[in-house]
Amino acid sequence: MTDTTFSAGKPGGKPALLDGAGFRAAVVGAFTKLSPRHAFRNPVMAVVWLGTLLTAALTLFGKAAPGQGAAITALLFVTVLFANFAEAVAEARGRGQAASLRRARKDLVARRVTTALNGAAATVVPATELRPDDLVVISAGEIIPADGEIVKGLATINESAVTGESAPVLREAGTDRSGVIGGTKVLSDEIIVRITAEPGHSFLDRMIALVEGANRQKTPNEIALGLLLVTMTLTFLIVVITLPAIAGFVGLNLNPLLLVALLVCLIPTTIGGLLPAIGIAGMNRALSANVLAKSGKAVEVPGDVDVLLLDKTGTITHGDRQATAFHPLAGVDLAQLREAALLASLADPTPEGKSIVALARSPGVALEEPADAHFVAFSAHTRMSGVDLPAQGQGGRVIRKGAMDAIVQHVAALGGLASPELTARVEQVARNGATPLVVADGRHLLGVIELSDVVKHGIKEKFAQLRVMGIKTVMITGDNPLTAAAIAAEAGVDDYIAEARPEDKLARIRQEQAGGRLVAMVGDGTNDAPALAQADVGLAMNSGTQAAKEAGNMVDLDSDPAKLLAVVEVGKQQLITRGALTTFSLANDVSKYFAILPAMFATLPSMAALNVMQLSSPGNAVLAALIFNAIIIPLLIPLALRGVRFRPSGATALLRRNVLIYGVGGVLLPFPAIKLIDMLLAGMFGP
């Protein structure tokens, strides 16, 4: 998905800050946000806005020097505008994205049918009239009218309107990749889709609302920081209000303009002005990684995750396990094992099943699907699949393939026994990091199918980085313990769960949470929904089932299970960015005190020691501090929107880096900046 104001096509790609149209929209938004309804949502900037009105009133009614009053009023007004502009820029970057999403669903129509049978009569209706459970037929070249799940057929689909990726993807009924999104385009074949979303509540509607900021809720960290800023603002407001009474004891009359200027420099205006923009930009950064977060909280929670639960297939390995060899047991002919493996896999729609059929047929085996066969689909509970053949002409065969323990139990129930040779063969395949599937014909064990998968390049280094950050990785796989151990060692995960069932994922998540840890996991199937809902961060695949997408709090538009690692980085970056800018804001306030306080109490000899910057005059000191206070906000907008660069490291190292760069830097930067502004003012207007 690419727009002139926003580019979210490739994970890791950086969006442009703003184009001409976006800049103009942000300027208009900055003035629109001056309305009291919006201004008082941000208490810090509301105080600055009220201070602006107060100084304007004092100037107009002759209670302050006209020149100084006008200058201070203008600087305070510009400070409010810059804060509004920061938020408007973040929103403008999302509006371009929303516009392209709206174009993807404009004027859509649908061919509604009453049954999924071939040849059913279709009625053309507007997409807005579709309701959940309606069936629609979509052919090559047509746009999918609404979110749904394929109930019949398979097709290649162009999802670039949502994901930005031009490469087509395959979606197929009856698999965990059956979900489709309204606004995407069918490129080949014909499918029948069952609608799952109400009008106005589709995936695109949700994305549009999120990128425009309409549904952005404040995160717990943002709320806590907001309370801190309000407390500090109230505290300094009380201090400033009491200053005239205190000054009266030493015979001083404080200028009301200086009091307002002091208050604005005391309160954390920098972070107060940037806080809304940081929150909106966090949502946009998640979307730029092609991850749809259902809330602002979902963006930040990954930054605090302690445990990552990852499926082996597709996340740690490439996920396209292929049958590479048949290993018959003693006394079993290779052709017999090939035939049984082929029969057991004819109705298996998985890539593994299709690869077994391809390998079994490679020597020229021409066996086709037998008549009256009853195929048994794979189940996560039985961990077997196969076929039951009728007695006529086939001898009433019961053929199964699956995990060794499941097949051994199946054979034992029929009166068969496992041999030591089978155990040795399975262990040999597993030690090589491959997955063994055992094949049985009735009560007779025939041999082992070897499925090979490859660990993704660089995954071990990523897990090492997560370990440095204090995050524990746990691999979940249905493989036997030997295969799981081999893959875990090669990938470098901290722990693994072998022969895992859906309930095992849920149990492990609850176990970790009971220990006070935050857990993240990824899933795409209906059986993953309970675990996705239980996890603190549930990343559902866009191609997965509707149940999985509803259960998770984040959806990966690319359907890449390894995206969970990127999600953690996005969350860490959001937390680091807010922490860094807060540190900088509070630190540079300290330096501004040394400009304003000597200016207010210039007649007191004891205050001369605080005039460390030796500014030209009290008036110039006030203006220099306010100018710096105003211009620092727009200068930090790019950092707030793009985020502080994230480097994997521990919490102590991150804190030390933040304090040194943004803490010490925040204290030191205002001194030369304010001094330089003062020199410019003195050169233009005199001391």
- The annotated binding site is made up of 348, 352, 378-385, 401, 524, 528
Dist. CA 459–CA 272, nearest whole Å:
39
Element (H, E) at 145: none
CA within 13 Å, CB half, 677 = 21
Binding site per annotation, positions for ATP: 348, 352, 378-385, 401
Longest dimension (CA), the chain: 115
CA within 13 Å, CB half, 560 = 17
Dist. CA 492–CA 279, nearest whole Å:
34
Dist. CA 435–CA 351, nearest whole Å:
14
Binding site per annotation, positions for Mg(2+): 524, 528
Cβ-based burial of 583 (10 A; exposed 0-12, middle 13-18, buried ≥19): buried
With vertex at residue 601, the alpha carbon angle to CA 596 and CA 607, rounded to the nearest 5 degrees, is 95
Number of Cβ within 10 Å of residue 347's Cβ equals 18
Name the strands in the sheet holding 154-158, side by side, starting at the edge strand that comes first in the sequence.
Answer: 169-172, 154-158, 185-186
Dist. CA 404–CA 384, nearest whole Å:
9
With vertex at residue 276, the alpha carbon angle to CA 275 and CA 282, rounded to the nearest 5 degrees, is 90
From residue 194, how far is each of 71, 116, 566 by CA, in Å?
Answer: 64, 9, 32
Cβ-based burial of 249 (10 A; exposed 0-12, middle 13-18, buried ≥19): exposed
Distant-in-sequence contacts of 431-434, Cβ < 8 A, 24+ apart = 431/482, 431/486, 432/486, 433/483, 433/486, 433/487, 433/490, 434/324, 434/483
Residues in Cβ contact with 280 at an 8 Å cutoff, skipping those fewer than 6 apart: 87, 90, 91, 94, 213, 216
Dist. CA 134–CA 112, nearest whole Å:
7
Dist. CA 87–CA 283, nearest whole Å:
13
Under DSSP, the state recorded for 455 is B
Dist. CA 13–CA 47, nearest whole Å:
38
* Best CA proximity match to 485, nearest among 494, 496, 499, 472: 496
Active site residue 311: yes
Dist. CA 255–CA 69, nearest whole Å:
11
**Per-position DSSP letters for 568-593, written without gaps between them:** HHHHHHHHHHHHHHHHHHHHHHHHHH
Residue with tokens 């210039």: 602
Strands 169-172 and 154-158: antiparallel
Helix (H, G, I), strand (E, B) or coil at 651: helix
Three-state SS string over 196-258 comes to CCCCCCCHHHHHHHHHCCCCCCCCHHHHHHHHHHHHHHHHHHHHHHHHHHHHHHCCCCCCHHH
506 touches 527 (CB < 8 A): no
Q: Which of 205, 311, 556, 560 is catalytic?
A: 311
Phi, psi for residue 48 in degrees, rounded to 5: -65, -40
Task: Point out the residues that are catalytic.
Answer: 311
